[in-house]
């Protein structure tokens, strides 16, 4: 079932280039749409230059909002958690919408 879920992720250190590449490969080879947001920074994970820039400029002292759209968003989140396992200090689910809920709303909060 199609879902839209957002998470708040706190990193304890910068993400390596190989981990960024692994994130990009996973999302590019899947049907998920994943976006990262922190302050004025926004990245579509399928666009490698934007993803690299995001992690280069992201502040590890502030949380990152991760928005996942697709079927079984929990699976995608677990996969990303595995890739970033050395870097995640804390993460929390913010909101979760099913397709039917999101379709009924004019505006949703992520």
> How many domains would you assign to the chain?
1
Any domain includes 110: no
Mean pLDDT of 59-74: 95
- The mean predicted confidence, pLDDT, of the chain is 90
Question: Is residue 96 very low, low, confident or very high in pLDDT (cuts 50, 70, 90)?
Answer: confident
Any domain includes 18: yes
Mean pLDDT of 83-94: 88
Whichever domain contains 8, its CATH number is 3.30.1340.10
Question: Is residue 105 very low, low, confident or very high in pLDDT (cuts 50, 70, 90)?
Answer: low
More confident residue, 107 or 96: 96
pLDDT at 79 over 90: yes
d(CA 106, CA 40): 24
d(CA 67, CA 77): 10
pTM, entire model: 0.86
Any domain includes 22: yes
């Amino acid at each position: 079932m199609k879902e839209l879920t957002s998470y708040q992720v706190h990193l304890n250190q910068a993400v390596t280039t190989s981990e960024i590449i692994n994130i990009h490969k996973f999302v590019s080879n899947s049907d998920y749409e994943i976006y990262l947001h922190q302050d004025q920074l926004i990245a579509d994970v399928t666009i490698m230059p934007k993803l690299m820039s995001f992690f280069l400029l992201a502040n590890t002292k502030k949380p990152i909002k991760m928005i996942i759209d697709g079927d079984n968003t929990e699976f995608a989140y677990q996969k990303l958690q595995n890739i970033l396992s050395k870097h995640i200090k804390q993460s929390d689910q913010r909101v979760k919408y099913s397709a039917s809920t999101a379709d009924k709303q004019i505006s949703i909060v992520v």
